[in-house]
Amino acid sequence: MKPVNVGVIGLGTVGAGTVDVLSRNAAEIARRAGRNITVTHAAVRNLGRSRDCDIAAISLTQDPFEVASNPQIDVILELMGGEELSFDVVATALRHGKHVVTANKALIATRGNELFAQASEAGLVIAFEAAVAGGIPVIKVLRESLAGNRIDSLAGILNGTCNFILTEIREQGLEYDAMLSEAQRLGYAEADPYFDVGGIDAAHKLSILSSIAFGTHLNFNSVYIEGIEHIRQQDIVYANELGYRIKHLGIARKDERGLDLRVHPCLVQKSQLLANVSGVMNAVLIHGDAVGATLHYGAGAGAQPTASAVVADLVDVVRTLTADPGNRVPHLAFQPDELAELKSLPITAIECAHYLRLTVRDEPGVLAEVTRILGQRRVSIKVISQKGFGGDDGVVPVVIVTHHAREADVASAVTEIEDLDASAAAVVRIRLETLD
Amino acid sequence: MKPVNVGVIGLGTVGAGTVDVLSRNAAEIARRAGRNITVTHAAVRNLGRSRDCDIAAISLTQDPFEVASNPQIDVILELMGGEELSFDVVATALRHGKHVVTANKALIATRGNELFAQASEAGLVIAFEAAVAGGIPVIKVLRESLAGNRIDSLAGILNGTCNFILTEIREQGLEYDAMLSEAQRLGYAEADPYFDVGGIDAAHKLSILSSIAFGTHLNFNSVYIEGIEHIRQQDIVYANELGYRIKHLGIARKDERGLDLRVHPCLVQKSQLLANVSGVMNAVLIHGDAVGATLHYGAGAGAQPTASAVVADLVDVVRTLTADPGNRVPHLAFQPDELAELKSLPITAIECAHYLRLTVRDEPGVLAEVTRILGQRRVSIKVISQKGFGGDDGVVPVVIVTHHAREADVASAVTEIEDLDASAAAVVRIRLETLD
């Protein structure tokens, strides 16, 4: 059979990694796919830059639209990133009858609904395994392997930068700022780290996973987002003493009231597998009504792991090239006319346990005041512990772990505690999830 | 589109679970598959027995061949188990043009080569996700999601009964026999537990995983097999003191010399995720050259988790019903004419570290003798520790952890140590694997 011709948009980290894997493992891949796969064209911003892959046999251009519309090309790999230009490039490729594989989570999370509609109308595939959790095949697992399940919930470590920083704070005993610099030095964090440490990247991924799990349109704007910037080393130490690790999680849960989608730091019991996922690694825990709990772990970023996911999608697409378009796996797992509109729950409606760190004056009666406020709001205390004695400034940390309570009640109790005369700083509040 | 008609062979635990999931989640499944799926016929051994599923709309028979050859049926689910009759039933279904989904690891491991050849010739699919690791989608992950990788190795906890017994020995501090009875009482082990605790079941699964990972024909007979019957509670305690857990693993590794396939108990560092997989849960660690390490965790057995895998396969098969047979995912991941014959390494050729527990008389010079024997065989010692003093019988346990050494050298050193006058019992030898 004639080889499949592939055009690559972007030869940065992921693009070069993909070209490298496709040529290094060409024989192995053809033995699986039943056809040779050849990268014939690529679009790059800078023609003169050296690349981490062999480009001798690839025709280069600076114009991505030239590749996206080239009639010799069967499949486009969109590996340039960004939201605006990449949208136009993908839309152009679809208009020219090409299947698309992308690693672009922002594009899929924010513009996926439009692109999937365009692709389905044209009988084409947009594949995006690499957009979520790098080399971990969580899209395929949710979309195909758990097709018999009603998915109840999922929780994932979806951003390697956050997980690296939280792991390093714990292991090295240093503060957030130092560990962020370390992540930047090692290339795990961008010069502007806001997308990662602010939780936006994880929220993009969570909104994609949630759509596929629950059969809804993509709805990035309904994700509640908190980053890790406010986590202090002492919170990680106190959590550890209580038997927990602090992880930055994306959580999606469906119940009769609606859909609960949120990204925030979380205390997780040390005995949980998710708590033991360290450094830049990612993992996703999925709970289905038949399968129970499953967990999928691996590298969430990096040239080679992301390339692994891109190539898997490419092989899937190669298989669809001569097969019946009506029978393909739907983009969002459920048939397009079977997607549901589920109500999004506001963060104030959720219920979970909380870790609270108060900074209060070491005076008689303060703990009585605090416990009275919590009790009035129906927030019941599981553990309360004053850490040491007041120093020169006369203030002490008090750590509280609550039982399950309504988010809105905890929030108003926190406000009232912060208003006490004895309160010397803002309360640090971190949710605590019991996962299975 | 007209519903897909399914015939089920066997309504035991897995069969009834599958019928239950298909009816409970019928709407959810049809929203994904784009077609309704209906179980119309089933074959059972005993027509009068009550079932853990609703059989009101299912036409029952005692003759599996009647179902396998029924022209109204599109897909057969072979959920009866065993090797002989099930082979004939599946072959009959294929001869009658039906796709087959099976959960039967013994059938696939021992007769898969014949059945796949018959299926491919007829343009049919045999799907067997449920045959390995229950609800964990490890077949699909290896076959499709890691299609861009050269797989280097995999290691898995593949038998829930073994993992349950080893976990319970550690947590309850009791011996193997008591924990085996406990597993039988809870329904985790059969009345004749040999297939599970003797390692046969794990070896069936390992041979399937290995074929798919490395692109070879199934070759169950080349798997080296050890069970867990010889593991004593004191070994688990000593391993724990040294920082390890004992797990029963299936390991497949390819290098330039050939293929290393083995199932045996293993010391695994406590910090590894695999070491933290407890009770009846399964997990598979896969190492690919692009993706690095990935781990997949979930329930390895049970009615509902296994049904989850059966239904996923069924949805895949439903998608292929009108699609081009030439473009399907190959049964063993690689195209049939691209399967390789790899040399199987004998167990004596492998190299790994070892845990040895000697039972020797507490006399001067014994340790000198032991270390001399190991040194002569080029087995280098990492840790050596005498556990306590000789009791009334004057014998003491001595625990040794070796560095990497050739299996054959360790084996002959052990024989020589057992021949010493000071040696009071057979040496317990457990391999130690460093996983990533």
Q: What is the CATH number of the domain that holds B101?
A: 3.40.50.720
Domain check: are A15 and A39 in the same one? yes
> Cα(A51)–Cα(A16) distance, rounded to whole angstroms?
7
Among B331, B330, B144, smallest CA distance to A312 is for B144
Domain that holds residue B389: 350-432
Does any domain span residue A344? no
Q: Do A290 and B305 touch (CB under 8 A)?
A: yes
Q: Report yes or no on B344 lying in a domain.
A: no
Cβ <8 Å between A307 and B135: no
For residue B393, count CB atoms less than 10 angstroms from its CB and return exposed for 0-12, middle for 13-18, buried for 19 or more: exposed
User: What span, in angstroms and rounded, lies between the C-alpha atoms of B277 and B281?
Assistant: 6
Nearest-10 crossing angle of helices A160-172, A176-185: 120
Please tell me the least confidently modeled range out of A373-377, B135-139, B168-172, B343-347.
B343-347
Shared-domain flag, residues B109 and B218: no
Is residue A142 domain-shared with residue A291, that is, in the same domain?
A: yes
State percent of chain A over pLDDT 90. 85
Whether residue B149 and residue A307 make contact (CB cut-off 8 A), yes or no, is no
**Rounded mean pLDDT, A327-342:** 88
Cross-chain residue pair B147–A330, CB shorter than 8 Å: no
Mean pLDDT value across chain B: 94
Which positions in chain B touch A337 (Cβ < 8 Å)?
none
What is the residue-wise DSSP string for A210-253? HHHHHTB---GGG-EE--STT--HHHHHHHHHTTEEEEEEEEEE
Q: How confident is the model at residue A387 (pLDDT cuts 50, 70, 90)?
A: confident
Which chain B residue's Cα is nearest to A286? B298
pLDDT per position as a tens digit, A197-240? 999 999 999 999 999 999 999 999 999 999 999 999 999 999 99
* Cα distances (Å, whole numbers) of residue A286 to A99, A292, B297: 29, 8, 10
Mean pLDDT, chain A, integer: 94
Using CB atoms, which residue from A21, A146, A319 is nearest to B148?
A21
Closest-CA distance, A412 to chain B, in angstroms, reads: 39
pLDDT (mean) for A103-113: 96
Q: Work out how many CB contacts closer than 8 A connect A with B.
A: 227
Same domain, B11 and B108: yes
Q: Are residues A170 and A291 in the same domain?
A: yes
Same domain, B149 and B11: no
| Same domain flag for A118 and A181 | no
CA distance B63 to chain A (A): 28
Q: How far apart are CA B109 and CA B131, in angstroms?
A: 9
Instruction: Say whether A280 sits in a helix, a strand or coil.
Output: coil
Q: What is the pLDDT at residue B390?
A: 66
Say which residues have a Cβ less than 8 Å from residue B299's Cβ, sequence separation at least 6.
Answer: A291, A292, A293, A294, B134, B135, B136, B160, B280, B281, B282, B305
Check A98, A105, A140, A205 and give the catalytic one. Answer: A205
Asked, for residue B345, whether it belongs to a domain, the answer is no
Considering the domain architecture, whether residues A252 and A295 belong to the same structural domain is answered as: yes
Q: Using 50, 70 and 90 to split pLDDT, how confident is the model at A391?
A: confident
Specify if B362 maps to a domain. Answer: yes
Distance from the B326 Cα atom to the nearest Cα atom in chain A, whole angstroms: 9
Contact B309 A144 (CB under 8 A): no
Q: Is residue A18 domain-resident?
A: yes
Q: Is the CB of B327 less than 8 angstroms away from the CB of A322?
A: yes
Which token pair is B174?
Answer: 């009791």
CB atoms within 10 A of CB B257: 11
CB atoms within 10 A of CB A50: 7
Three-class DSSP category at B39 = strand
Q: Rg of the Cα trace of chain A?
A: 24
- Say yes or no for a CB contact (<8 Å) between B311 and A319: no
**Assigned domain for A343 exists:** no
Which pLDDT score, from 0 to 100, does residue A234 have? 94
Judged on CB neighbours under 10 Å (0-12, 13-18, 19+), A269 is: middle
For the cut 70, the answer to whether the pLDDT of residue B249 exceeds it is yes
Report the range of poorest mean pLDDT among A222-236, A305-319, B97-111, B321-335.
Answer: B321-335
pLDDT for A394: 86
Asked if residues A32 and B148 have their Cβ atoms less than 8 Å apart, the reply is no
**CATH at residue A397:** 3.30.70.260
Contacts of B403 (CB under 8 A, 6+ apart): B353, B379, B380, B381, B382
Q: Which of A147, A321, A323 sits opposite B312 (nearest CB)?
A: A147
What distance in Å separates the CA atoms of residue B266 and residue B412, rounded to the nearest whole number? 20
CB within 8 Å of B387: residues ≥ 6 apart: B238, B396, B397, B398, B399
CATH classification at residue A194: 3.30.360.10
What is the per-residue pLDDT for A390?
A: 66
Cβ pair B149:A33 closer than 8 A: no
Question: Taking a C-beta distance cutoff of 8 angstroms, is the pair A309, A72 a contact?
Answer: no
Beta bridge pairs of residue A397: A359
pLDDT category at A436 given cuts 50, 70, 90 is low
A127: distance to nearest CA of chain B, Å?
Answer: 12
Query: Which residues does chain A have within 8 Å of residue B329's beta carbon, measured at their own beta carbons?
Result: 319
Mutate to test the interface with A, among B13, B24, B25, B32 (most CBs of A within 10 A): B32
Residues linked to residue B432 through DSSP beta bridges, in sequence order: B267, B353
Average pLDDT over residues A143-170: 96
**Taking CB atoms and an 8 Å limit, are B308 and A291 in contact across chains?**
yes
Distance from CA of A28 to the nearest CA of B (A): 7
Q: Which residues of B touch A316 (CB under 8 A)?
A: 144
pLDDT of residue B42: 98
Across A343-347, B325-329, B345-349, least confident range = B325-329
pLDDT in tens, B143-195: 999 999 999 999 999 999 999 999 999 999 999 999 999 999 988 887 789 99
Give the residue on A whose Cα is nearest the Cα of B270.
Answer: A276
Closest CA to B308 of B16, B17, B79: B17
What's the residue count for chain A? 436
The residues of B assigned a catalytic role are 205
Cα Rg, chain B, nearest whole Å: 24
Number of C-beta neighbours around residue A258 at 10 A: 15
- Chain B residues within an 8 Å CB radius of A334: 31-32
Residue B294 with chain A: CB contacts under 8 Å: 135-137, 296-299
| Alpha carbon distance, N-terminus to C-terminus of chain A | 47
Does residue B320 sit in the same domain as residue B370?
Answer: no
Interface test with A, best of B144, B157, B285, B311 (most A CBs within 10 A): B144
How high is the ipTM of this complex? 0.92
Reduce the DSSP state of residue A258 to 3 states and report it.
strand
3-state SS assignment for residue B366:
helix
* A38-87 pLDDT per residue, tens: 999 999 999 989 999 999 999 999 999 999 999 999 999 999 999 999 99
Which of A187-191, A206-210, B338-342 shows the lowest per-residue confidence on average (mean pLDDT)? Answer: A187-191
Query: Do residue B11 and residue B79 come from a single domain?
Result: yes
Residues B186 and B88 in one domain: no
Q: Are residues A288 and A308 in the same domain?
A: no
Residue A436 is assigned to a structural domain of this protein: no
Residue A176 — pLDDT band, cuts 50, 70, 90?
very high
Query: Does residue A95 surpass a pLDDT of 90?
Result: yes
Across the interface, whether the CB atoms of A308 and B291 are under 8 A apart is answered: yes
Residue A334 lies in a domain: yes
> What is the count of structural domains for chain B?
3
Distance CA B37, CA B8 (A): 12
- The model's pLDDT over B66-103, given as tens digits with 9 standing for 90+, comes to 999 999 999 999 999 999 999 999 999 999 999 999 99
